[in-house]
Chains A and B, each alone.
Chain A
């Protein structure tokens, strides 16, 4: 019995370590793959990509809602001096500007029903500034949602989206 104690301890330690490491890295790996998939589907870096309406034939992210307009912007603030200017145009219904880091955290969301919102996104480690948000990771995704449950409303949301901006200063 005693001679199995060492291998048994090794088994338990290895299992615990593999379990914890898998959970720790899974979100970042999945986000990384999602970012690559978004890039492959034409989602631009530092620009909002005009979306197609979500249908079974056009869905790039799991559990997208067919009732919402989604505009995505990928960002990379690897340069510590980078500043990303983000603007969400006016939309009379519900709309929000949401920021997701490389570990899938929704680290900021700004609701902008009936009004425009403009904000700057700064690289990790930046000093806080008025009108700016510091990203916890160099890379991530910005997502505008607009309530647009019909084809007509979606077309109007896309028109409103012409005022959206996501660009390096």
Chain B
């Protein structure tokens, strides 16, 4: 009887461990919810070019299904995500940042802000992304902040986002980008400008 109880406990514990570890490693556990993962890291921007394809491993597939459903395969678009600023601190609504970059190796690009649930934050600012058309050719910069900064520059609103990440979409990627992203891509730089009360 005691032996049967030990086996029963082992099975129950094994189920819990297997389920929990799979959900955690695949980013499905509620507390771990961003897309800043993958085997490609270019200046802190993470990506996995297997997204959308059968080549994706089970962890990538599960994570993308939860946080990037209906993402395109790499020949059409690649996605990079970054959740930390230049100091390594998580991006959050209480701080303001300067995002700057230049031309991208793709036909069109955009940078969009998402909250921890992978959704656009619930504000009505109409300023949740910038794209190649608005940025123009050459060097560009934008402010990420919960309030519109003074002046006419580009702005991405973080109002209502709490902690957030940024997704860089590169549509119609250059062949060189797919072959060697670390060489072909100079990703946008995120510099923290200031933080409000309680900020570091």
Tell me if A62 and B128 are in contact (CB < 8 A): no
Q: In the bound complex, what is the Cα–Cα distance between A82 and B160 (angstroms)?
A: 46
A40 within 8 A of B: no
Against B, the Cβ 8 Å flags (1 = close, 0 = not) of A120-135 are: 0000000000000000
Q: In the bound complex, what is the Cα–Cα distance between A14 and B8 (angstroms)?
A: 11
Tell me if A11 and B66 are in contact (CB < 8 A): no
Name the B residues within 8 Å of A14 (CB-CB): 10-11, 13-15, 18
Tell me if A64 and B107 are in contact (CB < 8 A): no
Tell me if B64 and A65 are in contact (CB < 8 A): no
A98 within 8 A of B: yes
Tell me if A10 and B52 are in contact (CB < 8 A): no
Tell me if B73 and A109 are in contact (CB < 8 A): yes
The distance from the CB of A137 to the nearest CB of chain B, in whole angstroms, is 12
In the complex with contacts A56-B122, A62-B69, A63-B68, A109-B58 CB distance below 8 A:
no
B142 within 8 A of A: no
In the complex with contacts A18-B14, A22-B23, A26-B22, A94-B70 CB distance below 8 A:
no
For chain A, residues 22 to 61, give those with C-beta under 8 angstroms from any C-beta of chain B: 22-24, 26-27, 30-31, 34, 54-57, 59, 61
- Residue from A4, A7, A17, A65 within 8 A of B129 (CB atoms): A65
Stretch at the interface among A84-92, A99-107, A155-163: A99-107
Tell me if B75 and A56 are in contact (CB < 8 A): no
Tell me if B59 and A23 are in contact (CB < 8 A): yes
Question: How many A-B Cβ pairs are below 8 Å?
Answer: 173
- Residue from A18, A57, A67, A106 within 8 A of B53 (CB atoms): A106
Tell me if B14 and A11 are in contact (CB < 8 A): yes
Against A, the Cβ 8 Å flags (1 = close, 0 = not) of B69-82 are: 11111011000000
Tell me if B11 and A10 are in contact (CB < 8 A): yes
Tell me if B110 and A98 are in contact (CB < 8 A): no
Q: In the bound complex, what is the Cα–Cα distance between A18 and B25 (angstroms)?
A: 13
Which range holds the interface residue count of chain B? 35 or more
A81 within 8 A of B: no
Tell me if A149 and B131 are in contact (CB < 8 A): yes
Q: In the bound complex, what is the Cα–Cα distance between A19 and B53 (angstroms)?
A: 22
B120 within 8 A of A: yes
Name the B residues within 8 Å of A66 (CB-CB): 112, 120, 128-129
For chain B, residues 38 to 80, give those with C-beta under 8 angstroms from any C-beta of chain A: 52-54, 58-59, 61-62, 64-73, 75-76
B104 within 8 A of A: no
Q: In the bound complex, what is the Cα–Cα distance between A154 and B110 (angstroms)?
A: 16
Against A, the Cβ 8 Å flags (1 = close, 0 = not) of B1-36 are: 001001101110111011101110010100000010
Q: In the bound complex, what is the Cα–Cα distance between A10 and B23 (angstroms)?
A: 21
Q: Which of A94, A104, A149 has the most CB atoms of chain B within a 10 A radius of its CB?
A: A104
Where the two chains meet, the residues of A that have a C-beta atom closer than 8 Å to any C-beta of B are: 3-4, 6-8, 10-24, 26-27, 30-31, 34, 54-57, 59, 61-67, 94, 96, 98, 100, 103-107, 109, 111, 141, 143, 145, 147, 149
Where the two chains meet, the residues of B that have a C-beta atom closer than 8 Å to any C-beta of A are: 3, 6-7, 9-11, 13-15, 17-19, 21-23, 26, 28, 35, 52-54, 58-59, 61-62, 64-73, 75-76, 107-108, 110, 112, 114, 117-124, 126, 128-129, 131, 133-134, 160, 167, 169, 171-172
9 contacts between A and B (CB under 8 A): A8-B10, A22-B22, A23-B62, A26-B26, A26-B65, A55-B120, A62-B118, A104-B52, A147-B171
Q: Please name the 4 residue pairs, one residue from A and one from B, whose CB atoms are nearest each other, closest first.
A: A18-B18, A14-B14, A22-B22, A23-B58
